[in-house]
Amino acid sequence: MPEQIHYFFRRLQYLAIILSYAVLSYIVPKKIGLVVFYPRHRSDAFEGNLKSLFLYMHAVQTRYTPCWLTSNPELAGKLSKQGYNCRLYKYKPLWMLLRAEYVVLDTGYEIIFAFGRFKLIQLWHGSGFKQLGMLKIKYNNKNRRWQSKQHLAYICMKSVASKFLLVTAASDADAHRKKDSWNSKNIVITGAARNDVFFNPKLLPEGYKTSLGIEANQRIILYAPTFVKKNPLAPFSNHGIQQLDMWLAQTNSCLLLKAHPRMYDFLPQSSSPRIINVTHEIEDMQELLAIADVLITDYSSVSTDFSLRQKPIIFYLFHKEYLHASQNFYYPPDEYLPGPTAMDETQLMALLSDLSWFDDAQYQKKFRAFMDMFHYYRDANSSQRTLAALEDL
């Protein structure tokens, strides 16, 4: 009983803070033209759709004043030195959020926006298979406290989603997923701003490959898995890493490893100069996708983005049962992935060693269908279309 009372008062206190913030949102005047970029997928990073739109808004003449919010002091200093409007926060950037005409988000649930006067722009951070928003909230009848918590989360999520004045999507399929997830009618297919870098090399930092220790003529293979809860399996054995390294040397290739932000310890360790873990060095996944020649992944949404580059993708599903146990899917991946899949190291090496399957006519038909499902546009203008949609509000 004391634990339940403590839980009740903690919730009551939290609700009081949220309601106080809601009241302030009607008192504090909005600064017309101030667009605050509030990344919550990774609050310490400069990446994704928010980064692309932020840089584009700085580069063109517009009535808006973009401001980036970050919890990373190093990033704040870097952006400020480059002449960008940036604010550092420790807990919550409450004042800037209250003052903003628009707040741009890359995740769906931020409870401080549940009540009050806010104009939210939802760009999300991927075009993939998983359920989002209200679809993710499940009720567990065996645990009343958890059930009540989920009811509260659903109510808050629904309230936050009602403030989405603009939700961008990359395709009809992406729009359907977001409509069902947030019950929003304000969805515009603009393309994903983060993918502009695929079609405009000038958006990639100069000397990018050299900075990673990659030779000009080396083939780049990127391994980028998604987040998996409670996965006891390792993607590579020690012997597998040795075999892979030998093959990389023979084929003048290198393997870049990029872990999910919540799984830094998942990837193998190697001292080989041909196997490079860039997880901590590189924030923006799109920059890696822009230089990769082959992608190895699982059910990650990076596969849908990389399909725009029309290069080979291998789906490495050695931990398939844990992938399914870890996620709720809106689009069941096994029904839509073009393949091929590798279930162990041996199959993976076979697919890497002979990429002729990628040029097969039947495979290319499935690959194009996969790309078309998740992406309507194939150009460098998604940031431009997103800004135009914002200006039309």
The DSSP line for 291-339 is H-SEEEESS-THHHHHGGGT--EEEE-TTHHHHHHH--BSS-HHHH---
| Judgement on whether residues 152 and 272 belong to the same structural domain of the protein | no
Q: 49 and 286 in contact (C-beta within 8 Å)?
A: no
Kindly calculate the radius of gyration of the chain based on its CA atoms and give it in whole angstroms: 22
Q: What pLDDT was estimated at residue 2?
A: 67
Q: What pLDDT was estimated at residue 328?
A: 82
Q: Retrieve residue 258's tokens.
A: 């990029």
Q: Is residue 211 part of a domain?
A: yes
DSSP 138-149: ---TT-HHHHHH
Q: What pLDDT was estimated at residue 15?
A: 77
| Judgement on whether residues 362 and 387 belong to the same structural domain of the protein | no
Question: Can you tell me the distance from the alpha carbon of 52 to that of 388, in angstroms, rounded to the nearest whole number?
Answer: 14
| Judgement on whether residues 181 and 224 belong to the same structural domain of the protein | no
Q: What is the number of other CB atoms lying within 10 angstroms of the CB of residue 190?
A: 26
Q: Is residue 31 part of a domain?
A: yes
Question: Can you tell me the distance from the alpha carbon of 149 to that of 11, in angstroms, rounded to the nearest whole number?
Answer: 9
Question: Can you tell me the distance from the alpha carbon of 307 to that of 289, in angstroms, rounded to the nearest whole number?
Answer: 10
Q: Is residue 59 part of a domain?
A: yes
Q: Is residue 19 part of a domain?
A: yes
| Chain position carrying tokens 């039309």 | 392
| Judgement on whether residues 14 and 159 belong to the same structural domain of the protein | yes
Residues with Cβ within 8 Å of 8's Cβ and at least 6 positions away in sequence, in order, are none
| Judgement on whether residues 306 and 227 belong to the same structural domain of the protein | yes
| Judgement on whether residues 260 and 180 belong to the same structural domain of the protein | no
The candidate with the shortest Cα–Cα distance to 264, out of 310, 227, 314, 307, is 227
| Judgement on whether residues 224 and 368 belong to the same structural domain of the protein | yes
Helices (H), the chain: 2-27, 48-59, 73-81, 94-99, 144-161, 172-182, 196-199, 208-211, 238-250, 285-291, 302-306, 320-326, 333-336, 345-353, 361-374, 382-391
CATH number of the domain enclosing 242:
3.40.50.12580
| Judgement on whether residues 98 and 158 belong to the same structural domain of the protein | yes
Q: Is residue 197 part of a domain?
A: no
Q: Give bridge partners of residue 222 from the DSSP assignment.
A: 256, 295
| Judgement on whether residues 144 and 238 belong to the same structural domain of the protein | no
What is the tally of structural domains in the chain?
2
| Judgement on whether residues 292 and 387 belong to the same structural domain of the protein | no
Residue span of the structural domain in which 241 resides:
202-374
Q: Is residue 272 part of a domain?
A: yes
Q: What is the three-class DSSP state of 269?
A: coil
> What's the pTM value of the predicted model, to 2 decimals?
0.91
Question: Can you tell me the distance from the alpha carbon of 325 to that of 64, in angstroms, rounded to the nearest whole number?
Answer: 44
Question: Can you tell me the distance from the alpha carbon of 299 to that of 297, in angstroms, rounded to the nearest whole number?
Answer: 7
Q: Retrieve residue 105's tokens.
A: 């988000």
CATH number of the domain enclosing 56:
3.40.50.11820
CA angle, 79 as apex, 76 and 83 as ends, to 5°?
A: 130
Q: Is residue 327 part of a domain?
A: yes
| Judgement on whether residues 349 and 229 belong to the same structural domain of the protein | yes
Q: What pLDDT was estimated at residue 18?
A: 82
The candidate with the shortest Cα–Cα distance to 392, out of 188, 184, 90, is 188
Q: Retrieve residue 123's tokens.
A: 């760009």
| Judgement on whether residues 164 and 246 belong to the same structural domain of the protein | no
Q: What is the pLDDT along the chain (393 residues), one digit of tens a residue?
A: 566 676 666 777 777 878 888 999 999 999 999 999 999 988 899 999 999 999 999 999 889 999 999 999 999 999 999 999 999 998 778 899 999 999 999 987 788 898 899 999 999 998 889 888 877 765 443 444 445 556 777 788 888 889 999 999 999 999 999 999 898 899 999 999 999 999 999 998 877 888 888 888 899 999 999 878 776 778 888 888 899 999 999 999 999 999 876 665 666 677 788 998 888 888 899 999 999 999 999 999 999 999 999 999 999 998 888 777 777 888 999 999 999 999 999 999 999 999 999 999 999 999 999 999 999 999 999 999 999 999 999
Q: 127 and 174 in contact (C-beta within 8 Å)?
A: yes
Which amino acid, 105? L
What distances in angstroms separate CA 377 from CA 153, 169, 300, 382, one per listed residue?
34, 11, 20, 8
Helices (H), 235-309: 238-250, 285-291, 302-306
